[in-house]
Structure 1
């Protein structure tokens, strides 16, 4: 890690610690973390990867990933809130130099945050967003309805995918603009405070409209990296809470192996498995982040042999990590209850949040398809798909041209 990382980490860790003190209460009361997001913004969390000349810390993807895991250990909802922001920032970082690019990096370096508005629910077809961006003279307006709009309720801007007469585009819309209505109606049993609900656009003015196909190449793996960091943070929190709860226990079972729970070899064995999962999760995040840094380094050589190879590597590594962590982090959250008695199920402790949150994160970007993609690459050398979508189809085997991210 660099000296810049050390400086940023020293600034942010007190904020993470403060966030951790209220995590259980927020989940139990369903209190959206507006104050916590504001504290992170004020501390420069959204500008970690922004170049120093634009007001940020200039960190690598791998360095940002380390801090994402630490934040997820404090509260797994919060890194996911910044998922769309980090992807939009990455797109600006690897864009061709221009005055517009510099203007956006300056905005992001000053603390402005971007949310996500890509996915739609309902009967829309594969690769056919029903949301539309329409030219209005020299300006653009957006009309449509999006769901899974993670982070947008907290953000200054939301990044919207839409169809247009020029093809599929992405458009930036201010969340406080006329014609924008945001609902906190995400009803998932996990990650409940990510603001992953509905946004309705009714002629909303937009900025920075760009063809979707011009987005940065390694975006799918980058989106997945944030979810992997969330899973690694959950596993780390499970290990932390297991140790705390076990050390606090005074009662033992008559058929246990020690007079103190913390000295019981069976309990130690279970926690050993939890600890091993947490360690593996963090190492996998580091490996994926390193592959993404390599892809970022070739971004200005788009479609060169080196760029294609780096992007294949990043996508495959992200998929491999997803296959492993989607199975084992929820397992770690279940194993936690094997170390404790029925008192661990108390809602005041909210230890069930670890499994609910891990299972919800693992349900993003369905892992069964990623397993098949990795297998096809391993056996046949087939490159992975970098863009995918979800929608209705009349037949199977359809490849779509646009991507939806939940």
Structure 2
């Protein structure tokens, strides 16, 4: 274990156990229910929660180091957690950011918050400290984007209810709560937190992708599901870099895939005894060409780790801006959106090539189904398909050439001019103008 951070031994042990069962679960397509339970018990869901509130108080660089270790054991599980960490980040964003706030007490809502908002913050801090987990439920088929969502919140005599169908609900099947995007009768885009354990919520493990098969990214169906009034918020009222945070988790997954590929290639080459009559040495583990191939994969793993930690530093800067001016917050949010986009552009080719390169090391035995080494390519190819890098490259180029700001809040769905203009950042002055 490479974790050198203030996290307890039971969490370290839980992460290690994830790796022991990962291959068997991949073969049988078994969800990591017990493993997620152990991780939550160890505190994986409260890494960023301040210590006075029952968490570990880690920043994003430290949190990412823990999640990178988890991703190297099973790259599917960090993706299970990304909706949870997004809700957690919004909660922390709403906490009191005053430098003179008492260090020996749990953080409160911002000082200008209404009493109800303060109670919501405290209630959610208690939930996170108790180990409650949040899953993601944003994406819909068809149009499904912001201002086009078919999931609706309606007012009834018994309070708000939400109805709709969500796809790719990563982590929801393991969770206590669902983070749901929806519209109200006036067309306002909302973020709604819904208890999973109620009659109006059904989740199916029906994700049919060839990779990331155990992320629990199935379909959620909500039918007049109960929503507490305090759990309704405007989507754009949340912390301003929420989409970038989701993308950061995909980068953690990608880095974990290539680290696992490098580990497996090294282990299997070290154990390998058979070689070829025209090989360089009698022992495969001393053959310079095979060592070179493993070294190439190792280098990509190091590159991916460094890139992901760099985006984590951008997240820390964005979070620190919560006590600054609104303009400073926007600039920091733009920076982390660009950072995650650039990382996706920079890493997708090297990682896909690296997880293919491992088969050059191991010969025909490397394609044995019992080893399931193809899972590394399948998982990498799947995660790089979620949010196509070609758009990220265009956005980075537009920023470099024209000074254009990135769109900070975006979604899967059919393009909609009104929707884009509503969520896009205002145009920047072109470089050199």
Does the pair score TM above 0.5? yes
**Which residue matches 1:381?**
403
Q: Could you list the runs of 5+ residues in structure 1 that have no partner in the other structure?
A: none
The aligned counterpart of 2:387 is 365
Q: CA deviation at 1:137?
A: 3.9
Give the stretch that moved more between structures: 186-195 or 377-386.
377-386
SS of the residue 1:292 aligns to? helix
Alpha-carbon deviation of 1:390?
2.8
Which of 352, 365, 369 aligns to 1:330? It is 352
Separation in structure 2 between the aligned mates of residue 126 and residue 46 of structure 1, nearest angstrom: 28
Q: Which whole-Å deviations, capped at 9, do the CAs of 1:61-119 have from their partners, x for residues lacking one?
A: 11111111100100011110001000110011101512211211111121000000000
| Whole-angstrom distance in 1 between the partners of 2:418 and 2:237 | 25
Deviation at 1:396, TM superposition (A): 7.9
Deviations 1:11-68 (A, max 9, x none): 4221111111111110110111110000001111001111112211111111111111
> Relative to structure 2, which stretch is displaced further, 30-39 or 136-145?
136-145
Which of 153, 171, 177 is 2:192 aligned to? 171
Matched residue of 1:266: which SS?
helix
- For residues 11 and 319 of structure 1, the distance between their equivalents in structure 2, rounded to whole angstroms, comes to 34
Match of 2:234 among 211, 220, 223: 211
Q: Distance in 2 between matches of 1:109 and 1:43?
A: 11
Deviation readout 1:321-372 (Å, 9 max, x if unpaired)? 1111222212111001011111111111111111101111111111100000
The 1:329–1:125 alpha-carbon spacing in structure 2 relative to 1, beyond 3 Å, is: closer
TM (norm. structure 2) is 0.88
Report SS of the residue matched to 1:343.
helix
Are 1:230 and 2:257 counterparts? Answer: no
Q: Distance in 2 between matches of 1:125 and 1:52?
A: 37
Structure 2 SS opposite 1:141: strand
After superposition, the C-alpha distances for 1:121-167 in whole angstroms (9 at most, x for unaligned) are: 13546631000011224721100000010000000000000010351
How far apart are the structure 2 equivalents of 1:168 and 1:313?
Answer: 25
Give me the whole-angstrom Cα distance separating, in 2, the residues matched to 1:348 and 1:157.
36
**Any conservation in 2 of the 1:157–1:175 contact (CA below 8 Å)?**
yes
Corresponding residue for residue 202 of structure 1: 223
Q: Which runs of 5+ in 2 are unaligned?
A: 96-108, 110-117, 425-433
Preserved CA contact (<8 Å) 1:235 1:332: yes
Query: Structure 2 vs 1, CA of residues 83 and 136 (structure 1 numbering), >3 Å: closer, same or farther?
Result: same
Structure 1 residue 347 corresponds to structure 2 residue 346: no
Which residue of the other structure, out of 121, 144, 147, is the alignment partner of 1:101? 121
* CA distance in 2 between partners of 1:280 and 1:55 (Å): 34
Which is worse superposed, 74-83 or 127-136?
A: 127-136
Matched, 1:24 2:45: no
- Distance verdict in 2 for CA 1:91–1:397, change over 3 Å: closer
Counterpart position of 1:119: 139
Q: 1:197 offset after TM fit, Å? A: 0.7
Conserved in 2, the CA contact under 8 Å of 1:180 and 1:202?
A: yes
Contact 2:143 2:149 in 1 (8 A): no
After TM superposition, which residue ranges in structure 1, 4 or more long, deviate above 3 angstroms?
123-127, 395-398, 400-403
Identify the match of residue 134 of structure 1 among 142, 154, 163: 154
Map of 2:105 onto structure 1? none
**2:310 paired with 1:287:** yes
